[in-house]
A and B are shown apart, each in its own frame.
Chain A
Amino acid sequence: MEREHVLVALVENKPGVMQRISGMFAKRGFNIETITVGPTESQELSRMTLVVKGDERVLEQVQKQLNKLVEVIKVSDVDPNESVIRELCLIKVHTPDQHARAQVVQYAHIFRAHVVDVSPESLMIELTGDSDKINAFIELMRGFGIKELARTGTTAMQRGAKIIEPKK
């Protein structure tokens, strides 16, 4: 069954690793929904979160092909039900009058979002959450007029004592 899978990869912190991974996806015809990368507690490692759409067979191939890359140290398939999955989103919303402004601030409050910048014509809202929550908020804001939108893509961590670490 085709669905979204969240994969976390620990990779060597070297130039070009991102290119190798995105190149592999392009060459094999896999679809990446989002890809994020950043440093970890170790200087030698970077951590990537990939959201991939496909059935079980595609997921298996994606994991195997990732593991084949020399600089990929570990790949884990993260179960969304047992993990914290977050994305950060910045939205600049058109708020020409007092009424619109009040409404947007109220919606932001309901979504536990923050107003991080104000101009006479717009508000910038910062929101974190899973994709569904962010999508819902974006839909609400469309009514006001979205001037600019930036999303970071998904990052994830398993709940509880389990950790993703390089194999010893």
Chain B
Amino acid sequence: MVKMTGGKAILESLKRHGVKVIFGLPGGAILPLYDDIYKDKDIRHILVRHEQVAAHASDGFARASGKPGICMATSGPGATNLTTGIANAYMDSSPVIAFTGQVARPLIGNDAFQETDACGITLPITKHNFKIMKTKEIPQIIKMAFKIATTGRPGPVHIDLPRDVQSEETDFDFEAEPEMPGYKPTIEGHPLQIKRAAEIISEAERPIVLAGGGVIHSNASPELSVFAEMLGSPVTTTFMGKSSFPENHPLALGTIGMHGKKAANKAVTESDVLIAIGCRFSDRSTGNVQYFAQNAKIIHIDIDPAEIGKNIKIFVPIVGDAKRVLKSLIERLKEIYKKGKTTAWVEKINQFKKEFQPKMDYDEIPIKPQRVMKELNSIIDSNTIITTEVGQNQMWAGHFLEVHHPRQFISSGGLGTMGFGFPAAIGAKVARPEATVIDVAGDGSFLMVEQDLATCVLEKIPVIVLILDNRRLGMVSQWQELFYGGRLSATLLGESPDFVKLTEAYGAKAEYVTRPNEIRPALERAIKSNEPYVLDVIVDPKEHVLPMVPPGGRLDQMIG
């Protein structure tokens, strides 16, 4: 058996799982592992400027590629700085594997320098975590970590590595298979439930499909299209499900929810059968649950049994992988489904879509954000990845942008993390270097992570940051204007910094965009440059994201 250090055993195990990139930032308690990284020729380590960026970048990498993303930090503050990114990955079920250094085994519990109970901290925000106390267990624990992160409902796994475990010599045994008697995700849907669902679907006159992020995780978009077309059923997505179904498809309604499309929210409310696939009925999607699809029999397909019946009463639950269940459902429906029942419904839906066409062709100065989305739509192709920050920028992007391919729209849905979009763009660009990656940002969000422009410049990661610059924490100020009597408590950001000068200080390119007709040429220059690029688009600070379901309101009663 080959002898090697714990650090090398970690890298060797990662490579056997196909890992080529790690996002991280070293420190004292992870020095031995970084020494092995230095000696390794096959793994690219991308040095970030803040650990939160490493976690978000590995998350963006995972979402863009479908493969697990790897991030790394030292103990103590390194670990705590990772946690926002880990929590973000947890809320959006993203397969991230996070490594942290830890003080050496004999020092654990002594409040040693930079010691923190990292596993205790990540316990509620990971699918599972490990502290490696026996060096020889490294390969098996890493095998378990990959299995847990990527199968069933995906999610982050954290591994804590005491310093002396990294440096200790061990026999490297990758062959032994770890046992996890308590971990057996259900993949295939129960045949009886599939039969029941098919019967209900075949009776439906006003069916609607609600596709969530699970459709993207399980790569079920092709099956989703077949399914929807077979039924002639309109398809709406949750915010996390955006890009799971082509938004230029005649049956596409766009997203539902608080800032979803009016047509989608109305259609859900009027449906008689709702087929929800890989979604968790979050409050942002459902509005007031009492009135959510209240006339519909709800069929819920999800790989996580705990999501079924958690927020909404379900008529037919099907636990299983979205792709597999859809395949079985399609087979079953082929035998019994008769077309034609939904014609009147689809006509009505088309009517809704025409009636509630959002306006985007504004010519005003300062620029209306809707116009920016219109220009973006004109350049988005199958090779474009959009990431977003959180707040108004995100909701404008979610509402107005049209994306047609899975993994093309990457955003922080569950945790709502400002400062996610830019690092996620870095991760996405590293995962798919051939793609054009654009972070739709707000000035507030971008300032939380702008230091990693340095990473983009030095590592040659040409992402585009398009700032919708309104000099405020836009979404919070919108709520203050709508629900708090216009008292803008701590939401005005003022005229600092100058984003163009800031970007130039890092050695990246930037320009101001102040007129609507400048947006597209500026975007084209940014794409063509193949360099990190910031577009500071000065937008109307008074503009709200509308329409909107007020908090606690009903989906079919949107304001604006």
Contact = CB atoms under 8 A, between A and B. Distances in A.
Interface of A: 11-12, 16, 19-20, 23-24, 27, 57, 60-61, 64-65, 67-74, 166
Given A57-B309, A70-B180, 12 more contacts: A12-B181, A19-B120, A20-B123, A61-B309, A61-B310, A64-B305, A67-B305, A67-B306, A68-B304, A68-B306, A71-B182, A74-B182
Interface in B431-467: none
B182 A12 contact: yes
B119 A16 contact: yes
A20 B124 CA distance: 8
B309 A11 contact: no
A72 B119 CA distance: 18
A60 B309 contact: yes
A64 B306 contact: yes
15 contacts: A12-B182, A23-B123, A23-B124, A27-B124, A57-B309, A61-B310, A64-B306, A65-B306, A67-B305, A68-B304, A68-B306, A70-B128, A71-B182, A73-B181, A73-B182
Give 5 nearest A-B pairs by CB, closest first: A64-B306, A73-B182, A70-B128, A27-B124, A70-B183
Interface residues on B, range: 10 to 19
Contacts of B181: 12, 73, 166
Nearest to A20: B123
Nearest to A72: B182
B128 A61 contact: no
Interface of B: 119-120, 123-124, 127-128, 148, 180-183, 304-306, 309-310
Contacts of B180: 70
A61 B306 contact: yes
A125 B325 CA distance: 59
Contacts of A70: 127-128, 148, 180, 182-183
B128 A19 contact: no
Contacts of B119: 16
Contacts of B123: 19-20, 23
A11 B212 CA distance: 32
Contacts of A74: 182
Nearest to A62: B306
A11 B181 CA distance: 9
Which of B182, B304, B309 counts the most A-chain CB atoms under 10 A from its CB?
B182
Nearest to B144: A70
A166 B304 CA distance: 21
Contacts of A23: 123-124
Contacts of B310: 61
Contacts of A64: 305-306
Nearest to B147: A70
